[in-house]
Amino acid sequence: MPHPADHDTLALPGAAPIKLWTHGVPVEEAARTQLIHTARLPIIYKHLAVMPDVHLGKGSTIGSVIPTLGAIIPAAVGVDIGCGMMAVRTTLDAADLPDKLHGLRSAIEKAVPHGRDMTRGKRDHGSWGKPPASVDAAWKRLQPGFRRLVERAPRLEKTNNHSHLGTLGTGNHFIEVCLDEAGRVWFMLHSGSRGVGNAIGRHYIELAQADMRQHLANLPDRDLAYFTEGAQHFDDYVEAVGWAQDFARTNRELMMAHLIDAARHVIKKPFTADQQAVNCHHNYVQKETHFGREVFITRKGAVSAQAGQLGIIPGSMGAASYIVRGKGNPESFCSCSHGAGRVMSRTAARKQFTVDDQVRATAGVECRKDAEVIDEIPMAYKDIDAVMEAQAGLVEVVYRLRQVVCVKG
């Protein structure tokens, strides 16, 4: 097994070192170039840490940990602010699930708005028409903070905010029913700050570029524009990001509550679902202390893995997922991967694979098997077991999960 410090270091003149936990997994050349661009910024502290699920992203590389001194790069945090995972272990066993799982999937799909359609004049089915009382109560707590954000950025007023709270979204966001090695039932889901987080991210990315207009020519990529502490919009962005991360965490908690309630209507055996609960971001920024200094840590598709901290590393639909415990490796800024990581774009996956391929790849999983989800086919992702082996020095596996039901946006 790899040694805790088993990583490669890329050292280039005029750039911070890049430390990569990528033994045995592919790293595309475009992602390597993007990492080098980020490493050349003057605000990088110590080094970049690169996780084994690394792949090309917008602005900054997905699967990277970016430590910065007195500055934050909004495009590195991205537009799905606070995107992350939640999982709970239930008191159910595999034998307690119904023989036919389609009814369970249908109940979950009814309980949690998911997907997206933008038919003119009609409500998007991926949002609430009339939010339930639990969503209204959660929004009441979030609303004062939102009002402060709108005072500074009036364009946020017209976003999907209240109507998206407790909803899944599209793309690689999902809800799953899983079994661990002992046959115990878990519920797991993946989503973030939805429409309002996207709008906050885009607004501040544009502001950072406008504020640095005279410096853009000196940046390797205009999406690496950053706010520095004391600058006009820095504090506004920190507050906005904090609110969006709170929205994202609340969003996952609401969906999980609705998922559990839906399952109770289908599964006859009474159960509880609060054992080993984990709720973790993997697209976010926060202040942390590393190597004796307080710095901003942006995890762009990476999970905090402090010593003893539980995290979630999902595989693709049809592959294993893992509940892990962090080892607190200082060289990775106490981080690990956020999933398997794509090996091809969504467009490439749709061109290369067919519905028949999707059916074969998800055999044994109750899920959609149609042309709309081919871009999420397991073969579009890296081998999750190779990814886990590459980061054996960062986390230890607590549970290995396999999904039996998967709901995709």
pLDDT at 2: 42
**DSSP code per residue over 373-405:** GGGG-GGGB--HHHHHHHTTTTEEEEEEEEEEE
pLDDT at 277: 86
pLDDT at 4: 47
Query: Which sequence positions are flagged as catalytic?
Result: 338
Helices vs strands, H then E, count in the chain? 9, 17
Rounded distance between C-alpha atoms, residue 407 and residue 409, angstroms: 7
The encoded tokens of residue 191 equal 């989503």
Pairing between strand 48-55 and 18-20? parallel
Angle at 58 (CA atoms; ends 57, 64), nearest 5 degrees: 45
Residues annotated in a binding site for Mn(2+)? 80, 173, 190, 282
pLDDT tens digits for range 135-193: 999 999 999 999 999 999 999 999 999 999 999 999 889 999 999 999 999 999 999 99
pLDDT at 5: 55
pLDDT at 1: 42
pLDDT tens digits for range 286-312: 999 999 999 999 999 999 999 999 999
Return phi, psi of residue 366, to 5°. Answer: -80, 105
pLDDT at 123: 65
In the chain, which residues have pLDDT < 50? 1-4
pLDDT at 120: 54
pLDDT at 118: 62
Residues annotated in a binding site? 80, 172-176, 190, 282-283, 314-317, 321, 338-341, 408
The pTM for the full model equals 0.95
Residues annotated in a binding site for GMP? 172-176, 282-283, 314-317, 321, 338-341, 408
Rounded distance between C-alpha atoms, residue 186 and residue 177, angstroms: 6
The encoded tokens of residue 201 equal 């991210």
